[in-house]
A and B are shown apart, each in its own frame.
Chain A
Amino acid sequence: MSELYSEKLIEHFRNPKNAGEIKDADVRVTVGNPVCGDVMTFTMKVRREKDKEIIEDIKFKTFGCAAAIASSDILAELAKGKTIEEAKTLSYKDIVRELGGLPPVKVHCTQMAVDGLKKLIEEYERKKKRNHC
């Protein structure tokens, strides 16, 4: 892993494609803590296709360093179009690989983005259960 940011990371930081919020989102979650210097909120919209649940869109808002912002953006990109079940298998390693490496001290930023996705899915499934009852 490099001590510096990759070009790819900088590009995602500079021009994130998935920043913002989905107005009619199915779920919204927040991870992190301003005291620690990183806060991410994610909104997600899911569409049903036959018996599949597909992540139609994810958007993020992030307070944090360049690595945190780029990780959020990559996470959204990787999760979009995947089924909920597929998305559950995403790990921080996928993001690090996609970013073309990351300084070791920044890996926690990527982990936080993955935690955000986990929380989105948990929240989504919890809501689904409640609606079924």
Chain B
Amino acid sequence: MDKRKVYLDNNSTTPLDPRVLDVMFPFLKEKWGNPNNIHVWGREAREAVETARENIKRMINCRDGNVYFTSGGTESNNWALKGIAFANIDKGKHIITTKIEHKCVLNTCKWLEKQGFEVTYLNVDREGFIDFDELEDALRKDTILVSIMLANNEIGTLEPVREACELVKDKSNAYFHTDACQAIGKMEVDVESLGVDLMTISAHKFYGPKGIGALFIRNGVKIDPLLHGGGQEKNMRSGTENVAGIVGMGKAAELVMKELDADKEKLRRFQKMIIEEILEKVKRTHLNGPSDLEKRLPGNVNFSVEGVEGESIVMMLDDYGIAVSTGSACSSKQLIPSHVLMAIGLKPEVAHGSVRISAGRFNTDEDIAYFLEVFPGVISKLRSISPLWQG
């Protein structure tokens, strides 16, 4: 009998939707033209790229701006931060972000600090939310950019981006960027209602391929390109387009528009089942991130399990064919627990016992039932050999 396999790590990456692969395939096989050429090969590719762009713009309700294709979330975040920083140096050199952004934002900020920019890292509360007063106090005359993520990838916190953006626009001249990598495909994301100037998107978080993403830029935003070259993407992002990737991302966006309501409803249901049942069945387990599921990324669950270390949970579940993640130091290269878990005030020993379970479009009720059946036993087994557990 084949071993059962259950993928519950959809916040790391999502499976490629087979319908996405189907539309990508011809662009790898026979429609390999360069969209910058005017001959028939080129025109065929160009048309596909522009159709994809239209789908993505529609998905995020982009009416006053454009989306530019990049190599993914990391590049889009690097571009947004560095591009705004260097294009607006005459207005100031101050940037505001949060302590729980993805590393590609935080490490870009650290690099910008070395280039002479000043960065304020906002604190978050125990559930991961920013504080409006702290944000308002941090705003200065020379603040050029505020970057706050829409949904946190570890603990699922949905930051109040619309309100934060309103506050920033009200009190300053700074641009507002949001990293929406995790949110897209799991909940409605509308750049008009959010009011943001820039937004990062990554295809592999919504059932598209890896290595392709986009940056939404509102009309009138002053930004430098990150990559200079042949002038593709209206001179904003040079390099011959990743046509198959773009086509795949466009299809993934089309599917999100069609299926978001059903996906979201399902992810909410699975999330609720996992949280309720594990908290009840596995004693001394705590939920990290928002307990109000309306303020939490659908499908995301993050627990701290007392007495066991996160990586050992991941490895033991892997043995049962179940894939999850951990913010424990042991799983990282730095041997310190995740910066997100530290920022919400977890003690290191509690952070070491964290495990993230994230459901996606392709999970079934059977998957969740299997996880719920296996998880308590895995924890008991690890606790039975733990010196920190006195059962």
**B329 near A37: Cβ-Cβ < 8 Å:** yes
Which chain B residues in 339-359 approach chain A with CB under 8 Å? 347-349, 352
Establish whether residues B386 and A62, one from each chain, have CB atoms under 8 Å apart when the complex forms: yes
A64 beta carbon closer than 8 Å to chain B: yes
> In whole angstroms, how far apart are the Cα atoms of A38 and B311 in the complex?
11
Q: Is the CB of A63 within 8 A of B328?
A: no
Contacts of B18 in A (CB 8 A): none
- What's the count of A-B pairs with C-beta under 8 Å? 75
Contacts of A1 in B (CB 8 A): none
**CB of B262 within 8 Å of the partner chain:** no
Query: Scoring B residues 297 to 336 as 1 if CB is less than 8 Å from chain A, else 0, what string do you get?
Result: 0000000000111011001100100000000111101010
- CB distance A69 to B337 under 8 Å? no
Say whether B309 contacts A37, CB under 8 Å: yes
Residues in chain A within 8 A of chain B (CB atoms): 5, 10, 13-14, 16, 19-20, 30, 34-41, 60-69, 105-106, 108
Give the nearest-CB partner of B328 in chain A: A37
- B38 on interface, CB distance cutoff 8 Å: no
Check B1 for interface membership: any CB of A closer than 8 A: no
Please, how many angstroms separate the alpha-carbon atoms of A67 and B331 in the complex? 11
B116, CB-defined interface residue at 8 Å: no
19 contacts between A and B (CB under 8 A): A5-B315, A10-B315, A14-B316, A34-B352, A35-B349, A36-B329, A36-B335, A37-B337, A41-B387, A61-B387, A63-B387, A64-B309, A65-B330, A65-B331, A66-B311, A66-B315, A67-B330, A69-B312, A105-B335
The docked-state distance in angstroms from the alpha carbon of A68 to that of B384 is 15
Q: How far apart sit A93 and B374, CA to CA, in the bound complex (Å)?
A: 35
Cβ 8 A contact of B385, one of A38, A69, A106, A108:
A69
Most buried by B among A36, A67, A106, A108: A36
Closest to B333 in A: A105
> Hey, what's the 0/1 contact readout for B344-387 against A, CB within 8 Å counting as 1?
00011100100000000000000000000000000000001111
A105 to B309, CA, bound (A): 16
Taking the closest CB of chain B, its distance from the CB of A22, in whole angstroms, is 14
CA–CA, A61 to B387, complex, Å? 5
Q: Which of A14, A39, A64 contacts B330 (CB 8 A)?
A: A64
Q: How far is the CA of A108 from the CA of B316 in the complex (A)?
A: 21
Which B residues lie within 8 Å of A65 (CB)? 309, 311-312, 315, 328, 330-331
In the complex, the answer to whether A13 meets B352 with C-beta atoms within 8 Å is no
Interface of A: prevailing SS: mixed
How far is B384's CA from A119's CA once the two chains are assembled, in angstroms?
23
Given contacts A36-B348, A39-B387, A105-B333, contact A63 B319 (CB under 8 A): no
With A35-B349, A37-B309, A37-B348 known as contacts, the answer to whether A62 contacts B387 (CB < 8 A) is yes
User: Which chain B residues border A35 with CB–CB below 8 Å?
Assistant: 347-349
State the CA gap A34–B337 with chains docked (Å).
12
* Least distance between A51 CB and chain B CB atoms (Å): 34
Are A63 and B335 closer than 8 Å at their CB atoms?
Answer: no
Determine the distance from Cα of A13 to Cα of B388 in the docked complex, in whole angstroms.
18
Contact A66 to B385, CB < 8 A, known contacts A37-B330, A105-B335:
no
- Report B-chain residues with C-beta under 8 Å of the C-beta of A64: 309, 312, 330
Residues of B within 8 A of A13 (CB): 312, 315-316
Q: 6 closest A-B pairs (Cβ-Cβ)? A: A65-B330, A34-B349, A65-B311, A41-B387, A61-B387, A19-B385
A108 to B349, CA, bound (A): 17
Evaluate contact between B386 and A63: CB separation under 8 angstroms. Answer: yes
A41 to chain B, nearest CB (A): 4
How far, in Å, is A27 (CB) from chain B's closest CB?
Answer: 15
Q: How far is the CB of B282 from chain A (nearest CB, A)?
A: 16
> Nearest chain A CB to B309's CB is how many angstroms away?
5
Complex Cα spacing A13 to B382, Å: 10
Shortest C-beta distance, B359 to chain A (Å), equals: 25
Closest to B308 in A: A63
Chain B residue, CB-CB nearest to A72: B385
Given contacts A34-B352, A35-B349, A37-B329, contact A61 B309 (CB under 8 A): no
Task: List the A side residues contacting B329 at CB < 8 Å.
Answer: 36-37
C-alpha gap A71/B316 in the complex (Å) = 16
CB atoms of A62 and B385 under 8 A apart: yes
Chain B residue at minimum C-beta to C-beta distance from A30: B387
